[in-house]
Amino acid sequence: MLAAATQFVAAFDVSEVLALVAAILALGAFLVAWREAQRNNRAIVKLTDFHATYTGARDHRKCYILKVCIKNCGVALQNAEMRLCYCGPGKSGSFSIQMHLDERSCVSSAFLRGTFARYQMSSENRRDVDLLRYLKDLSVQEPALCLYNSTYLVKAFDICRHGDWLRRAWNRGAFRLSFQRRVGEGDAGKGVFKTYRLPTFIDRKMQLEFFLSGLKKLEGPGESSS
């Protein structure tokens, strides 16, 4: 057995192994340099969060908020704007609603690489709500989150994507497979638990549908979205 192992090792030339390792390292270095070159010369942005929330009562008024968070992974952008764009009914014309920069966002006139920008749309903005009334069929009207750099389109994130049903099925499974582990005693021995679950996908369509359904609820009797 030992003799067979010795013959197997001797069949390989050490110089060939070193050459293979050097080739792998060179390929890795090339990929890293190519990625950095792309980031230094192109506008690259990633959508990190997109969700709708219900904040309850604000001065005795209900409020729904649609929030967007993006990360700049490329060159710096100037006067970045986020808009919700979609076709009109029957694809006649188009609508573009500007989302407002979140007060907590540190982005001003320059959107630097490695920073985050947060935008939001509220049901309290009457103009936005009036324009969103024309968005009735997401599959047909093709809504998208469009990021502009000094009025030039940088990236469009489609709301309705192929495989949305698969993402929803994965999210349901990830929620059901979550489990808790006791990490402390807590007050009165009730225990402190930490929840573990699989990563989930951002379901853009479901979040926008929740926001639009909230706007319809506010249009009911006795409600005001202004």
* Cα→Cα distances 143→27, 150, 206, Å: 40, 21, 13
pLDDT by 10-residue block (mean), the chain, 226 residues:
56 72 86 74 88 76 90 88 90 88 71 89 90 90 92 92 90 81 70 79 93 86 46
Please give the CATH number for the structural domain made up of 44-162+202-218.
2.60.40
Name the token pair of 152: 């030039």
pLDDT of amino acid 225: 40
Is 0.85 surpassed by the pTM of this model? no
pLDDT of amino acid 203: 92
Domain ranges in the chain are: 2-40, 44-162+202-218
pLDDT of amino acid 106: 61
- Looking at beta carbons, which pairs linking 137-143 to residues 24 or more positions away fall under 8 Å? 138/205, 138/208, 138/209, 140/87, 140/91, 141/86, 141/87, 141/88, 141/89, 141/91, 142/86, 142/87, 143/84, 143/85, 143/86, 143/208
